[in-house]
């Protein structure tokens, strides 16, 4: 079993839809949870950074962490064609080593 599981997709939605992206994990030591967006042949761009359980909102993006279920989500409201990309979840333990474990990424396509 992988430490971090993420559905690779592809996920296709119409413009304006609410998108839900998810990751599950097995390591209860993870304390920091990140979402990155990666366009084709580009480096990942940090979207959301959260510590421990709870919700965090930034514009059209909302990140949720449920440590009891070992489950994290990213919601994108009013999705746009420019949101079409691969979304990677990443996690790290509070060890200070900064080592990230990434999910495989979910390919999202928002149709105009």
| Residues near another protein, by CB under 8 A | 8, 32, 34, 36, 41-46, 49, 88, 92, 97-100, 102-105
**Three-state DSSP class for residue 20:** strand
Sign of the alpha-carbon torsion through 88, 46, 59, 28: positive
Q: Residue 68 CB, nearest distance to another protein (Å)?
A: 21
Q: What is the 3-state secondary structure (H, E, C) of 45-72?
A: EEEEEEECCEEEEECCEEEEEECCCCEE
- Whether the CB-CB separation of 15 and 9 falls below 8 Å is answered with no
Q: Which residue's CB is nearer to another protein, number 15 or number 45?
A: 45
Q: Residue 43 CB, nearest distance to another protein (Å)?
A: 4
Q: Which residue's CB is nearer to another protein, number 17 or number 101?
A: 101
Q: Residue 89 CB, nearest distance to another protein (Å)?
A: 10
């Amino acid at each position: 079993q992988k430490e971090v599981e993420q559905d690779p997709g592809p996920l296709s939605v119409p413009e304006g839809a609410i998108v839900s992206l998810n990751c599950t994990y097995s390591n209860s030591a993870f304390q920091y949870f990140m979402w990155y967006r990666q366009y084709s042949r580009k480096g990942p761009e940090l979207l959301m950074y959260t510590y421990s359980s709870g919700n965090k909102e930034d514009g059209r993006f909302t990140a949720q962490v449920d440590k009891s279920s070992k489950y994290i989500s990213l919601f994108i409201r009013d999705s746009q064609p420019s949101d079409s990309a691969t979304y990677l979840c990443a996690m790290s333990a509070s060890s200070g080593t900064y080592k990230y474990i990434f999910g495989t990424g979910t390919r999202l396509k928002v149709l105009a």
